[in-house]
Amino acid sequence: DEIDGIIEGVPFFQPKDDEESQTQGENITPINWQIIEDEKIDPIIKHNYFNDDDKKRNLMNLFSALTPSQKEVFKIIEQKLIKNQQCFYIVGGEAGTGKTHVINILRKAMDYYKLNYATLATTGVAASNLESGRTIHRFFGLDFELKSYLEHNNRNSYYVSNADVLLIDEFSMLEVELFRKIDLTLRKFPRSHEYEDENKIFGGRSIILFGDPAQLPAIGLPIFCSNLFDKFEVLLLKENYRQKDDKIYYQILREARIGNLSDYSKRKLKERIIEFDKKDEKSFNKIEKGPPILVSRIVDRDWWNNKILDTINEEEIVFHAKTYYDGNEDKLASESELTAIKLNCKEALPETIKLKKGAQVMLLRNLDVNRGWANGRIARVKCIKEDDRGDFIVEKVRQTLKIPHVSVVFKREQFPLMLSWATTIHKIQGVTLDRMYLQLGKLFSSGQGYVALS
pLDDT band at 48 (very low <50, low <70, confident <90, very high): very low
Q: What is the pLDDT of residue 421?
A: 92
pLDDT band at 18 (very low <50, low <70, confident <90, very high): very low
pLDDT band at 441 (very low <50, low <70, confident <90, very high): confident
Instruction: Please give the average per-residue pLDDT across 124-152, as a whole number.
Output: 81
pLDDT band at 392 (very low <50, low <70, confident <90, very high): low
Average pLDDT along the chain: 81
pLDDT band at 114 (very low <50, low <70, confident <90, very high): confident
**3 state SS for the chain:** CCCCCCCCCCCCCCCCCHHHHHHCCCCCCCCCHHHHHHHCCCCCCCHHHHCCCHHHHHHHHHHHCCCHHHHHHHHHHHHHHHCCCCCEEEEECCCCCCHHHHHHHHHHHHHHCCCCEEEEECCHHHHHCCCCEEEHHHHCCECCCCCECCCCCCHHHHHHHHCCEEEEECHHHCEHHHHHHHHHHHHHCCCCCCCCHHHCHHHHCEEEEEECCCCCCCCCCEHHHCHHHHHCEEEECCCCCCCCCCHHHHHHHHHHHCCCCCHHHHHHHHCCCCCCCCCCHHHHCCCCCCCCEEECCHHHHHHHHHHHHCCCCCCCEEEECEEEECCEEEEECCHHHHHHHHHHCCCCCCCEEEECCCCEEEECCCCEHHHCECCCCEEECCCCCCCCCCCCCCCCEEEEEECCCCCCEEEEEECCEEECCEEEHHHHCCCCCCCCEECCCCCCCCCHHHHHHC
Query: What is the reported pTM?
Result: 0.75
Better-scored residue on pLDDT, 219 or 26: 219
Instruction: Please give the average per-residue pLDDT across 96-114, as a whole number.
Output: 89
Q: What is the pLDDT of residue 9?
A: 30
pLDDT tens for each residue of 259-295: 899 999 999 999 999 888 887 877 777 888 778 899 9
Q: What is the pLDDT of residue 10?
A: 31
Instruction: Please give the average per-residue pLDDT across 52-79, as a whole number.
Output: 85
Given a cut of 80, whether residue 360 has pLDDT beyond it is yes
